[in-house]
C-alpha cells in the first residue's frame, strides 16, 4: 500500500512539472488594420493576464480603450479637424506596450471618385455642352445719324421718323421697323456724315482701387458685382462705435458730420482727449476718434467698420508721398449710402450699456436725454451697426433695440468673439430680441474658431482669420503716430457685421425692398446654406449672398462639385472633368455653375443635388452630370 501512495505522488509531481514545461500560448496582434469608413476595430488576442497599453501617433485617429488586461477589442475612429488631403489612403501608427510589444499600422483607404460635368441642352437642342454662347444684345429699332447740313434741308428716308434731334451737335435719332436697311441707305447719302445703330451699353468692370484685390470678402459675398445694380434712395447707416476719422480721404463725402446728426456720447476730457471721459459728460456733436490706446499705428475700430460699408472707389489726392491714392472700396461704394458716426467707446475700446442704449434710440430718430441735454437726431438711420457687445445681459440695451425695431429700423449686431473661451454664450445686444446677430466665416467659408455659436445667430458673413495669410478683413484705419490714414487687416464678428448692414442698406437703396421687414426677409431668404441643412447655431440661416438677393445676371462661371458627408470638399471642374478621393459613406452631391466665383453653390446659380453612396475601394465613376442652365 505504501508503494501505491508513493507512486501516486510521483505521478502527480510529474504532471505538475510537465505543465510548467509547456510553451506559453502565442499572442495574436495584427501588423496592419484596414478601416472601412470612419470606424474600425483592432482585435488583441493575448493571454488573460497580459497587461497592455496603446499609444497613437496620428492626430486623425483615436483608439478606445487605450489600455487593458487580457484579450480585447479596441475601437478605432477617424476624425479630421482640418480639410482632408486628396490622396488614396491615410496611414496611422499604433505602438502596443506592456507585456506584449508590437507596431501596428492602421490604414484608411479612400475611394477614387471621378466624373464629368456638362450643361444640359434645352429641349429639342443638340448634344449638351459645358459652354453656353454669350447672349445676343437686345435688338434696337433706332438709328443715330449726323447730317452735314441742317435737318430742315434733309429729305428723310421713307419709313423712318425723327425721335429726337440735337441741334448743337446735329445728332438725329430715327426710328424704323427695318433699322439695318435704313442704316445702309443713310451710308449712301452724301448729306450724312455718319450713321449707326443706337446700340445698348451696360455697366461693366469692378473697381480698380489699389487694395481692392486684397478684399477677398467682396468675392465671397458676391459684392464684387455691385456695379450691376443701380441705386436711387439715400440711406443712412448709423455706426455705433469708437467714432470715425473724418480726415480719412477714402471716406470723403460718405459721412454725416458734426452739426448733421453725428454725436459723441462719450465726450473727451478737455485736457486729455485720449484719457478717460469726465463722469456725467453730456457728450458733444463731434464723434471724431481722437486716438486708439491699443493700436496706435493702425487704429480706430469705428473707421475700420465704416470703411467696410462706404469707402469710396476711384482715386484721391494721396495724403503722403508713400500713401495710396485709391485704397479700398466699401460694399455700398456706388450707392447713396452715408454713415452716421455715433461714438460710445472711449480710447480703451470700452463703453457703457447706458451710452449704447442712448445711441441706438438716437440713431432711430427717438429723442434722448444725456446729462440733462435733450438730443434729437436730424438724420434718422434706416440701419444701425453695432460691432460691439458684452456677454452680460442688459435690459437697457435690449429695450433700446426693441424701440428701434418698432420704429422700422434694422439693428445689426456682432454675434461675439468668445466661442473659443466661452462656447455657446449669449452676446448682447446681438442676442436681444429683434437684433440681427452676425457670425463670422474665414476664407474657406468655415465658421471661425472665435465666432459665437448660439440660438440667436441669424446670418454669417466674412470676418476673417489671422491664421490664414491675407485672411483678415482689410479696411480703413488711422496711424496716430504719423497722424495719417492707412489700411489694416482686422478679424472678428465686428468686421462681418458691417457687411450685413451694408447689404441691407443696398437693397433698401435699390428699391428691392421698401421697408425693414422686406429687406431682412430678402437677405435672409437668399443666403447660401452652410453647415447642417436649415438654420444652425454656427452660420444662422447661412452666408450672405448679394447676387441671390438682387437677382443679378452674372457672367457665366466655372462648374463646381461639392461632396458633403464623411469627408466634405469642394472641387473645381477642369476641362469638364473632376477627380477626388473620399472616405466610403453616404454623401450629398452638389454640382453647380459657380457664377459668383466664391467656390460655393449659391442660391440662384444653376445646380443639381442628389444623394450618393460611395462604397469599397478602387474607382467610383459618377459618369456625366448635366446641370440645367
What is the per-residue pLDDT across 551-600, written as a single tens digit (0 to 9) for each?
A: 999 988 999 999 988 888 889 999 899 999 999 999 999 999 999 999 99
Poorest-pLDDT segment among 73-77, 134-138, 535-539, 609-613: 134-138
HSE (side-chain half, CA atoms, 13 Å) at 251: 28
At residue 122, the pLDDT reads 55
How far is it, in rounded angstroms, from Cα 528 to Cα 516? 21
Q: Among all chains, which residue has been given the C-alpha cell 469608413?
A: 37
Q: Which of 15-24, 50-59, 397-406 has the highest mean pLDDT?
A: 397-406
**What is the percent of the chain where pLDDT is above 70?**
92
At residue 25, the pLDDT reads 56
pLDDT category, 185, cuts 50, 70, 90? Answer: confident
Q: State mean pLDDT over 313-319.
A: 93
HSE (side-chain half, CA atoms, 13 Å) at 227: 14
Q: Domain 230-547 classified CATH 3.40.50.200? A: yes
6 has a pLDDT exceeding 50: no
DSSP secondary structure letter of residue 360:
H
Backbone conformation region of residue 124, classed left if phi is above 0, alpha if psi is from -120 to 50, else beta: left
At residue 138, the pLDDT reads 55
Model pLDDT for residues 425-477, shown as the tens digit of each residue: 999 999 999 999 999 999 999 999 999 999 999 999 999 998 888 899 999 99
Poorest-pLDDT segment among 42-56, 99-113, 162-176: 162-176
Alpha carbon of 322 to those of 304, 317, 591: distances in Å?
21, 12, 46
126 has a pLDDT exceeding 50: no
At residue 13, the pLDDT reads 44
Alpha-carbon torsion angle 55, 57, 62, 65, nearest 10? -10
At residue 140, the pLDDT reads 75
Could you tell me which residue, 293 or 419, shows the higher pLDDT? 419
At residue 121, the pLDDT reads 65
- Looking at every residue in the chain, the average pLDDT score rounds to 89
Q: State mean pLDDT over 603-619.
A: 89
Model pLDDT for residues 428-437, shown as the tens digit of each residue: 999 999 999 9
CATH topology of domain 552-627: Immunoglobulin-like (2.60.40)
C-alpha cell at 152: 430742315
132 has a pLDDT exceeding 80: no
At residue 71, the pLDDT reads 92
At residue 170, the pLDDT reads 81
Buried b (16+ CB within 10 A) or exposed e, 578-601: bebbbbbbebebbbbbbbbbbbbb
SS (HEC) of 91-154: EEEEEEEECCCEEEEEEEECEEEEEEEEECCCCCCCCCECCCCCCCCCCCCEEEEEECCCHHHC
At residue 9, the pLDDT reads 44
Asked if residue 584 lies in contact with residue 111, where contact means CB atoms within 8 angstroms, the answer is yes
Q: Which residues fall within 8 angstroms of residue 554, CB to CB, at 6 or more apart?
A: 222, 225, 228, 547, 595, 596
Asked if residue 523 lies in contact with residue 508, where contact means CB atoms within 8 angstroms, the answer is no
Query: Domain 32-109 in CATH: superfamily?
Result: Immunoglobulins (2.60.40.10)
Neighbours of 449 (CB within 10 A): 12
At residue 2, the pLDDT reads 53
55 has a pLDDT exceeding 70: yes
Asked if residue 593 lies in contact with residue 559, where contact means CB atoms within 8 angstroms, the answer is yes
Amino acid at each position: 500500500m505504501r508503494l501505491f501512495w508513493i507512486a501516486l505522488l510521483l505521478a502527480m509531481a510529474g504532471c505538475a512539472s510537465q505543465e510548467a514545461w509547456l510553451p506559453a500560448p502565442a499572442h495574436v496582434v495584427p501588423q496592419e488594420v484596414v478601416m472601412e469608413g470612419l470606424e474600425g476595430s483592432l482585435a488583441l488576442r493575448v493571454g488573460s493576464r497580459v497587461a497592455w497599453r496603446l499609444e497613437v501617433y496620428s492626430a486623425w485617429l483615436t483608439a478606445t480603450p487605450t489600455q487593458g488586461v487580457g484579450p480585447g477589442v479596441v475601437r478605432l475612429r477617424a476624425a479630421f479637424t482640418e480639410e482632408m488631403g486628396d490622396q488614396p489612403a491615410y496611414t496611422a501608427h499604433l505602438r502596443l506596450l506592456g507585456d506584449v510589444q508590437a507596431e501596428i499600422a492602421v490604414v484608411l483607404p479612400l475611394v477614387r471618385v471621378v466624373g464629368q460635368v456638362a450643361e444640359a441642352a434645352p429641349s429639342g437642342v443638340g448634344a449638351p455642352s459645358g459652354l453656353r454662347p454669350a447672349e445676343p444684345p437686345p435688338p434696337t429699332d433706332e438709328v443715330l445719324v449726323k447730317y452735314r447740313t441742317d435737318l430742315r434741308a434733309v429729305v428723310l428716308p421713307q419709313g423712318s421718323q425723327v425721335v429726337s434731334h440735337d441741334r448743337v451737335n446735329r445728332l438725329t435719332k430715327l426710328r424704323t421697323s427695318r433699322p439695318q436697311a435704313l442704316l445702309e441707305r443713310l451710308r449712301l447719302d452724301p448729306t450724312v456724315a455718319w450713321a449707326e445703330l443706337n446700340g445698348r451699353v451696360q455697366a461693366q468692370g469692378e473697381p480698380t482701387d489699389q487694395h481692392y484685390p486684397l478684399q477677398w470678402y467682396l468675392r465671397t459675398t458676391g459684392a464684387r458685382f455691385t456695379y450691376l445694380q443701380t441705386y436711387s434712395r439715400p440711406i443712412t447707416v448709423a455706426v455705433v462705435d469708437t467714432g470715425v476719422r473724418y480726415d480719412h480721404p477714402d471716406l470723403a463725402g460718405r459721412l454725416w458730420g458734426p452739426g448733421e446728426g453725428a454725436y459723441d456720447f462719450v465726450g473727451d476730457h478737455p485736457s486729455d482727449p485720449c484719457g478717460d471721459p469726465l463722469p456725467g459728460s453730456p457728450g458733444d456733436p463731434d464723434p471724431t476718434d481722437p486716438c486708439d490706446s491699443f493700436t496706435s499705428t493702425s487704429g480706430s475700430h469705428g473707421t475700420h467698420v465704416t470703411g467696410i460699408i462706404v469707402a469710396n472707389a476711384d482715386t484721391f489726392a494721396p495724403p503722403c508721398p508713400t500713401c495710396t491714392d485709391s485704397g479700398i472700396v466699401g460694399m455700398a461704394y456706388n450707392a447713396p449710402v452715408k454713415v452716421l458716426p455715433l461714438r460710445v467707446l472711449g480710447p480703451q475700446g470700452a463703453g457703457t450699456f447706458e451710452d449704447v442704449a442712448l445711441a441706438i434710440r438716437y440713431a432711430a430718430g427717438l429723442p434722448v436725454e444725456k446729462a440733462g441735454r435733450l438730443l434729437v437726431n436730424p438724420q434718422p438711420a434706416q440701419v444701425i451697426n453695432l460691432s460691439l457687445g458684452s456677454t452680460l445681459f442688459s435690459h437697457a440695451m435690449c429695450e433700446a433695440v426693441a424701440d428701434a425695431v418698432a420704429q422700422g429700423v434694422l439693428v445689426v449686431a456682432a454675434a461675439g468673439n468668445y466661442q473659443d473661451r466661452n462656447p455657446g454664450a449669449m452676446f448682447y445686444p446681438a442676442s436681444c430680441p429683434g437684433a440681427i446677430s452676425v457670425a463670422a466665416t474665414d476664407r474657406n467659408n468655415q465658421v471661425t474658431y472665435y465666432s459665437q455659436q448660439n440660438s440667436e445667430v441669424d446670418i454669417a458673413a466674412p470676418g476673417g482669420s489671422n491664421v490664414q495669410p491675407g485672411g483678415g478683413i482689410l479696411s480703413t484705419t488711422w496711424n496716430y503716430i504719423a497722424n495719417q490714414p492707412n489700411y489694416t487687416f482686422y478679424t472678428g464678428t465686428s468686421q462681418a457685421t458691417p457687411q450685413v448692414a451694408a447689404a441691407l442698406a443696398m437693397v433698401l437703396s435699390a428699391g428691392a425692398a421698401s421697408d425693414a421687414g422686406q429687406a431682412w426677409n430678402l437677405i435672409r431668404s437668399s443666403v447660401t446654406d452652410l453647415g447642417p441643412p436649415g438654420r444652425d447655431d454656427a452660420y444662422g440661416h447661412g452666408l450672405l449672398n448679394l447676387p441671390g438677393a438682387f437677382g443679378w445676371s452674372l457672367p457665366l462661371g466655372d462648374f463646381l462639385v461639392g461632396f458633403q458627408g464623411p469627408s466634405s470638399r469642394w472641387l473645381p471642374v477642369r476641362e469638364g472633368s473632376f477627380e477626388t478621393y473620399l472616405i466610403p459613406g453616404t454623401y450629398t452631391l452638389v454640382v453647380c455653375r459657380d457664377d459668383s466665383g466664391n467656390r460655393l453653390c449659391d442660391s440662384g446659380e444653376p445646380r443639381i443635388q442628389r444623394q450618393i453612396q460611395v462604397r469599397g475601394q478602387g474607382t467610383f465613376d459618377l459618369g456625366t452630370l448635366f446641370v440645367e442652365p
